[in-house]
Chain A
Amino acid sequence: MKEYRQSIAKGLGNKSGGVHTAYLGLELENTLDRNTCFVAETDSGRVMEHVLDFSDGNKEFFSNGGRALGWGMGAAFGVKLAHPDRPVVAVVGDGAFNFTGPQPLWSYARYKAGITVIVLNNRCYDNERNRMFGRNGRQAQTGKDMICYNGNPDIDYVKVAAGYGVEGQVVKEPSQLRAALQRAKSAMAQNSPYVLDIQSTRMGRGAQSPWHPEFTLAGLRGRA
């Protein structure tokens, strides 16, 4: 089954308009060191581990199943403390990143922790929308996702990281991924943290729509 999943993932590398998480998993497998430790805090992004190869026993994968949001980046620092000689990559959803807050990045910079943070930036709580739409209530019938779209404004995680002393880059298309991972690998080898803001695809019902309610506090004002 792994080969089948990897073949599906490979095909997703030819699609533009964002990076599919499965294709990211394939590129991680093909680019990073075999003894990399992955700390994953994703929900809809949980396709990655199904294309990674753990058969040689060198790679490690840490995850809490999404039950304690905001856990991942701090946990990655702990994994690096335990395995200072191994590359550590934290893969977090953009929702999870915002539950953590950016302050672990300061620790990475201060203590020269060679950790790469991959933010799966699809600008939404993707699986929450799928769970709600799956009940086929009025949101699904109208295609109006009332709470899960997190764009507008679109968060720039590289700018956030720079404020904490961490370099990084944005990845918008699959074709940019390998070079970006090579830069991250090089940064980790030099004991530098690195952030990859990977603009990933949304999946499932309602995935294509950026609609959100137009409520604003400015609209509540009664006087200038």
Chain B
Amino acid sequence: MASAVFACIVLGTVAPAQERSGAGANLPAGPGREVLTTACNACHNLNTVVEYRAGKSGWQEVVDNMVLQGAEVLPEEAPVLIDYLAANLGPNSGSTSSKVTLPSGPGKEVVESRCSVCHAVDQAVSIRRTPEEWEKVINQMVEVGLEVTSEERRAVVSYLNMQFGKAAQ
């Protein structure tokens, strides 16, 4: 614990107490909330946490990486914390307003509905990608918790390639 806090001080990432408390105050009650507001708050404020969305597998990866970097989350606390994060900061749990208006085309509605469950579509469509890169992106999204049917996946990939495609170099 001491080494983790020291590391954060040296790296200049320890947030003032009042800033740390801000984002945590609005989190819903439930098992795992206390772990989040103590163990996670020890090194950084919770603003970064509450801005992120992922399914259970995505939050598992985040918690594992934080434990590896020094977070004092006990083995028995980790599953409780991950369940809490997935339930309260998972897909569809918050607004994802976008500054981007998607072009019309087959699959647009599926992209708007599936890609916006965790983040604004800006993040999905700001970069042109090759077909292989779009497949990789969708695979990564599924890995962190996107739930999509085979038909929806085909529609999303087709739309993204049609509207935001890039020839392979």
The closest CB in chain B to the CB of A207 belongs to: B140
Chain A residues with a Cβ closer than 8 Å to the other chain, count = 29
A8 contacts B64, CB within 8 Å? yes
Q: Does A67 contact B (CB under 8 A)?
A: yes
- Separation of A140 and B127 alpha carbons in the complex (Å): 13
Residue pair A208, B140 in contact (C-beta under 8 Å): yes
Bound form: Cα–Cα A4–B67 in Å? 9
Question: A39: CB under 8 A from chain B?
Answer: no
Q: How far is the CB of B44 from chain A (nearest CB, A)?
A: 8
Q: 1/0 per position for B42-56, CB-CB distance to A under 8 A?
A: 000001100110000
Taken together as a complex, chains A and B put the C-alpha atoms of A51 and B3 apart, in Å, by: 13
List of B residues within 8 angstroms of A78 by Cβ = none
Stretch of B81-89, B118-126, B151-159 that contacts chain A: B118-126
Q: Is the interface of A mostly helix, strand, loop or mixed?
A: loop
Q: Is the interface of B mostly helix, strand, loop or mixed?
A: helix
| Cβ-based interface call for A218 (8 A) | no
Q: What number of B residues sit within 8 Å (CB to CB) of A?
A: 28
The reply to whether B10 and A67 form a contact with Cβ atoms under 8 Å apart is yes
**A50 touches which one: B70, B75, B137 (CB < 8 A)?**
B70
Which chain B residues lie closer than 8 Å to A151 at the CB level? none
Given contacts A65-B10, A66-B11, A208-B137, is CB(A142)–CB(B122) below 8 Å? Answer: yes
Residue of chain A at shortest CB distance from B10: A65
Does A9 have its Cβ within 8 Å of any Cβ on chain B?
A: yes
Asked if A5 CB lies within 8 Å of chain B CBs, one says: yes
Among B68, B72, B124, point to the contact of A9 (Cβ < 8 A): B68
User: Could you tell me which residues of chain A, from 121 to 159, have a CB within 8 Å of some CB in chain B?
Assistant: 131, 134, 136, 140-144
A80 at the A/B interface (Cβ < 8 Å)? no
How far does the Cβ of B31 sit from chain A's closest Cβ, in whole Å? 19
Contacting pair A46 B126 (CB below 8 A): no
- A143/B67 in contact, CB under 8 A: no
In residues 94-119 of chain B, which contact A (Cβ within 8 Å)? 99
Are A209 and B127 neighbours in the complex by a CB distance under 8 Å? yes
Q: For B47, list chain A residues within 8 Å (CB).
A: 134, 136
Q: Are B51 and A50 in contact, CB atoms less than 8 angstroms apart?
A: no
Given contacts A9-B68, A22-B68, contact A205 B52 (CB under 8 A): yes
**CB distance B7 to A46 under 8 Å?**
yes
Please, which residues of chain B bring their CB within 8 A of the CB of A65? 7, 10-11
User: Is B69 among interface residues, defined by CB-CB distance under 8 A?
Assistant: yes
**Given A4-B75, A66-B11, A136-B51, CB of A144 within 8 Å of CB of B127:** yes
With known contacts A67-B10, A134-B48, A205-B52, A47–B123 Cβ distance under 8 A: no
**Residue ID in chain A nearest B144 by CB atoms:** A208
B65 interface residue (CB < 8 Å to A):
yes
Whether A141 touches B48, Cβ cut-off 8 Å, given contacts A8-B67, A47-B69, A66-B11, is no
Q: What residues of A have a CB within 8 angstroms of the CB of B13 in the complex?
A: 131
Is B2 on the interface with A (CB-CB < 8 A)? Answer: no
- Kindly report which residue of chain B lies nearest to residue A203, judged by CB atoms: B65
For B126, the chain A residues whose CB sits under 8 A away are 142-144
Separation in Å of the B42 CB from the closest CB of chain A? 13
Q: Are A50 and B122 in contact (CB under 8 A)?
A: no
Give 15 CB contacts A-B under 8 Å: A1-B67, A1-B74, A5-B67, A8-B67, A46-B7, A47-B65, A51-B68, A65-B7, A66-B11, A136-B47, A143-B122, A144-B126, A208-B137, A208-B140, A209-B127
Closest 6 CB pairs of A and B: A65-B10, A142-B126, A47-B68, A134-B48, A143-B123, A22-B68
Residues of A within 8 A of B (CB): 1, 4-5, 8-9, 22, 43, 46-47, 49-51, 65-67, 131, 134, 136, 140-144, 203-205, 208-209, 211
